[in-house]
Amino acid sequence: MVASGAITIAPDLRTVPGFNMYFKGLGPSNTFLREYWNSLNCTNKHENFGECFLDLGITFQQEAYVPSVVDAVNVVAMALHRYVKGQVCNIYIGQRLLTVLDSSESYPLLVPPADHGKTEQYVVLTRTG
C-alpha cells in the first residue's frame, strides 16, 4: 500500500562508532553467534561475519536499538563502578591485586579467595566475553 501525498518524519539513525567493524570481526564463538552464523549459512571458509557477509552479498546495517543497548550497559557499568568504589577488600584480577568489594551484600557478586596462594580466582575479559 502506498500513501499518496503523505508526509513522514524519519529521524537520523544514531549509530555506535566502531560497532560495525567490531561485529564483522566476530565469528561463531558462542551459542548465540553460532546460531546466527548457521542461519546465514556461513561456513568454515569464512573467518568472521564480515567475510561471510561479503561472500554471500549481505549488506550489514547496524540495528536502531544498538545505541540503546550500549547506553544501558554503560549505565549498569557506571553504577557498579560507583558501588565498587564505596566498598573495600582485595581480589585478584589477572596478575594484579585490586581493592574492591567488601560487604555481606557484595559476596554473591564477587567472593575473594580465602587463601590467594592456593585458590586463585581470576577474572578474564576477552572479546567474546
Residue with cell 581480589: 91
Rounded alpha-carbon distances, angstroms, from residue 76 to 10, 88, 112: 30, 19, 22
pTM, entire model: 0.55
Question: pLDDT value at position 81?
Answer: 76
- pLDDT tens profile 34-52: 999 999 999 999 999 999 9
pLDDT at 1 (0 to 100): 57
The highest-confidence range among 65-69, 106-110, 116-120, by mean pLDDT, is 65-69
* Dihedral angle of Cα 46, 50, 56, 61, to the nearest 10 degrees: 160
Specify burial of residue 16 (Cβ count, 10 A radius: 0-12, 13-18, 19+).
Answer: middle
Q: In the predicted model, is pLDDT for residue 72 greater than 80?
A: yes
The domain segmentation of the chain, as residue ranges, is 19-56
* pLDDT tens-digit readout, 111-123: 444 544 444 444 4
